[in-house]
Chains A and B, each alone.
Chain A
Amino acid sequence: MRKKNARTIRACAVCVLALVLAVSSLAQTFDAIKSQVKVHVLKNGMKFIALERHEAPVVSFHMYADVGSANESYGITGISHLLEHMAFKGTKIIGTIDYEAEAKVLEELDALYDRIKTEQARVSPDEETLVRMKDKFESLRLKAKEYVVNGEFDDMFMREGDQSLNAFTSADATQYVNSLPSNKLEFWMAMTADRFQNPVFREFFKERDVVIEERRLALETRPIGRLVEDFLSVAFKAHPYKHSVVGHMSDLESITRRDVEDYFRKFYGPSNLTVAIVGDVSAPEVFEMAELYFGDIPSEPRPEALRTREPEQWGERRVQVMAQSQPILIMGYHRPDVRHPDSFALDALANILGQGRSSRLHESLVKNKKVCIQCGVFNGFPGDKYPNLVAFIAVPSQGHTSEECLELIDEEIAKIRAESVTAEELTKYQRSSIKVLLSQMKSNGSMARLLTYADVVLGGWQRLFDQVEEIQAVSIEDIKRVANTHLVKKHRTIGEIIPEGK
């Protein structure tokens, strides 16, 4: 359908000119920011990245722990996220009125929990013993609770004006964020150093219940949540991207406090942590304080790299979720990790197919054939540190089916495999992704996130800025090539929600 001849070539010349114009002012902006980034690595391997921005007297902090649900094994799925929750429970001096006494009760509680689990695991558990132990467990839990100062860790940050106190766990990473008035830099240092050197995982069992409710909320009561969980479990057969970040229910119901402590020791060594601080602070002062507060933490070996790799897929896979819902389609093709040379061409492919109202899928499926109300294509599903998926999602219009959407998506993919994209489309991708990158750099918090991500996952914070050239280096031929290399039916998985009557 897409003619490529004189008209396109003329359009192309115009576009290239426009791009060059745009990029000259953009390039200056990126260079200006890049030249302000400062880095300091402590002897123990913990890395600090600082970017001074003095427009407003505020500062954002982003701590990137290089551990996510992809580091989990059977039995402890969901533990990265549970640990993230526990990292708000305080320390030996925060959240308690008497740590020494509290610690004894917590140990008793753990030991009793193990005994209950052992009893439950017997072929014929003694019900009377179980009831007795559970009563005792509840009274011990309440006893431990007497030492707790509810919410003290959060309260301390929030009282000082933390506007973004939060944390996020993904398949690849666990990330902790704060934003404070910028005169409180040292307070953040003191809090964070204590938080990750002396954490106490108190109120564990109730917090586990909270996470279980989070699983029900985000995943079990939502048809799309159920679909995504089942879809990933089929798309990956070996790699831990196959399990959801929140984890399996039975694992959540069984993980112990000691499991969390072991996991913490393994993955929260200083060399596994990267911090970016962006705002109205002085970089030398940031580094001086980082030495003072984090320099004494003993080095730990970096955790062993993940052993399991996803093997080649032997044929198209399908998964269905029956639900009281209208249909939804997800499809994913295996692709390499984000550092692979094909990565930018795959981004271009996803952008041209699925980003914006003039993208190919939107024009075909939404505007012309009207079979779906929304469709999109995205890379990095469910993470991008390891080989992952380029994923397609389509939400069929009323009265239309996932199958109709799939056929049209396949048509559009086939066209790109045969003819690639136009120069106009390539330029559109280049401009829009550079503009998106730019807009993500506007806020301190988002800039701090980008810096840590680039440093840990892309292999160096500078790569955040180098992307601009790589985006511009993508060619029409690259896009055709990666479409043919990676969008292979044999290497895809299709998932759909099948509407079920009430």
Chain B
Amino acid sequence: MRKKGYSRHKSGLNIRRSLGMIGAFVLLLAVGAPKALAQKSPKDTFDFPPLNPIQMPTIERLELANGLKVFLVEDHDFPTVDMRAIVRIGSVYDPPQKIGLAGITGTVLRTGGTDSRTGDEIDRELESLAATIETYIGQNSGGFMASMLKEDVDRVLSILTDVLVNPAFREDKIELAKIQQRSGISRRNDEVSGIARREFWKLIYGPTSPYARHGEYATIDAITREDIIRFYERGFYPNNTLMTVWGDFVTDEMVEKLKNSLGTWPEGTPDIPAQPRVDYEYKYTVNLVDKPDVNQSNISLGHIGGLMDNPDYPALSVMNNILSWERMFKKIRTDEGLAYSVWGTYGASFSYPGVFSCAAQTKSESTVYAIELMLEEVRLITQEEVSDDELARAKDRYLNTYVFNFDSKPKIVNRLMTYAYNDYPLDFMETIKTGVEKVTKADVLRVADKYLRPDKVQILVVGNKEDFDKPLSSIGEVNIIDITIPQAKSKLQ
């Protein structure tokens, strides 16, 4: 957000067009039928009346002269306006000795106030309007969100612009953010689910991978205000940002308001290299975090996953649906009563490999048994075709819930922004749908066999080993993971 004047109206440069793209969208229509007069049994045939057509909103896309790309959609049902933005930045760019920098920068951008008002003043002003502005930096992106009543748009936009353009990063709020981070570190072993998620991710991506590592007292203590300012300057530019606006406004008027506010955000030169690579070596490992104070084991197992732009992604989606619901849930939960929550999913992300993970939480006394059952289900789906019914149900579930992708304007417009951010085609979801329609049993078997490696999974148990049904060593050499939190060197507390 910086310096540099910006020229207000370069209408020639403003790209503005309607997205008619989803016009081609057709829903499955059934044949019309006379109204029922008699009560039907749920197993009777229902001649569903035709589904009313989806009304695609008009979405305006434009790019301000400073490079800020905006998607706008009018939604007049409620007298509110909302905004959301994605900035290309992320904690994957944290220097290894300052892990936590991105998160603190994202927080203090908002809490640290601006040159002309403190963060506390902003808090009070916004809350007096029942408005919010939040900023954040996550793993692969950062951004901001704002929500307001429609009559407050001018005031909120002016505060938002001030926050983005003139952040002050005051020391007291940096210290507060560090306290929050340190407290988070001190609490990171309090919940079993938190331990499991963190340690499993480290097993898959590697403990120092930008996709799995986490801050320590030492890395938080090493962060300075200069680091924060520099990190913010790496990415927070309008020409590095995508934004959606939806709510009760007239588009032309809103565009003017945006030009006069966020349009003054000076463009800059982002310093954001390509996302870090993931190198994965398939291996079978058995890992334990011993928690003598619990009576239930948290089990995770899996290996690296893939990308969503993989042409096999539609078939993998169908396979996930069958593996999680038809297999894991029906076997581990319904038949065996072993767990409340259980799943198996080959995870795919937009821009870096996801994780294939299966998970369940079961009483200590059925730990190894549950692991064996889960692995058996993974093996089975890589060896035998699924049944016709399983395939038909999985496809129906996907295709008949498809309409819910269009049940709200914010959902539609924010999905487009996400696709645009990740350089995916804006009709990506339709492509997946077309793909899902074509998936066969042979496809499911082929992708399961190709992408799942039941013999090369990494298994993590967080639980009380004294009470396991069998020693964990019965399924492999056990690597004990020490989760002791490294203490800060000098900090008094």
Contacts and interface: CB of A to CB of B under 8 A. Distances in A.
Contacts of B21: none
A135 interface: no
A441 B115 CA distance: 38
Nearest to B46: A187
Nearest to A326: B187
B340 A183 contact: no
B41 A194 contact: yes
Interface in A175-190: 179, 181-184, 186-187, 190
B120 A367 contact: yes
Contact of B403 (A56, A94, A193, A208): A56
Given A29-B79, A94-B42, A367-B176, A221 B295 contact: yes
Interface stretch (B177-185, B260-268, B424-432): B177-185
A324 B289 CA distance: 14
Nearest to A209: B337
Given A220-B295, A324-B190, A397 B39 contact: no
A161 B402 CA distance: 8
A183 B404 contact: no
A163 B406 CA distance: 13
Contacts of A300: none
B493 interface: yes
A132 interface: no
Given A216-B295, A431-B129, A434-B130, A57 B190 contact: no
Given A57-B53, A431-B129, A150 B334 contact: yes
Of listed A26, A183, A502, residue having the most chain B CB within 10 A: A183
A213 B151 contact: no
Contact of A25 (B79, B186, B292, B334): B79
Contact residue range for chain A?
35 or more
Interface in A94-150: 94, 145, 150
A210 interface: yes
A58 B404 contact: yes
Interface string A355-377: 01110000100110010010000
A57 B52 contact: yes
A271 interface: no
Contact of B191 (A211, A220, A222, A432): A222
Contacts of B339: 210, 213
B400 A159 contact: yes
Of listed A57, A214, A439, A502, residue having the most chain B CB within 10 A: A57
Interface in B356-377: 361-363
B77 A163 contact: no
Contact of B179 (A145, A158, A358, A398): A398
Interface string A426-460: 01100110110011011110000000000000000
A137 B186 CA distance: 48
Contacts of A399: 493
A476 interface: no
Given A184-B48, A324-B190, A358-B120, A217 B42 contact: no
Nearest to B462: A221
B39 A292 contact: yes
A262 interface: no
Interface in B60-116: 77-80, 111
21 contacts: A22-B151, A25-B79, A93-B43, A150-B334, A162-B401, A183-B51, A190-B42, A211-B340, A216-B363, A221-B298, A223-B190, A280-B52, A324-B190, A326-B183, A326-B187, A357-B120, A370-B179, A397-B182, A431-B130, A431-B149, A442-B77
Interface of B: 27, 30, 36, 38-44, 46, 48-55, 77-80, 111, 120, 123-124, 127-130, 147, 149-151, 175-176, 179-180, 182-187, 189-192, 291-296, 298, 325-326, 329-330, 333-341, 361-363, 393, 396-397, 399-404, 406-408, 493
Given A58-B404, A161-B396, A209-B338, 7 more contacts: A22-B151, A54-B52, A91-B42, A151-B334, A184-B46, A214-B340, A438-B80
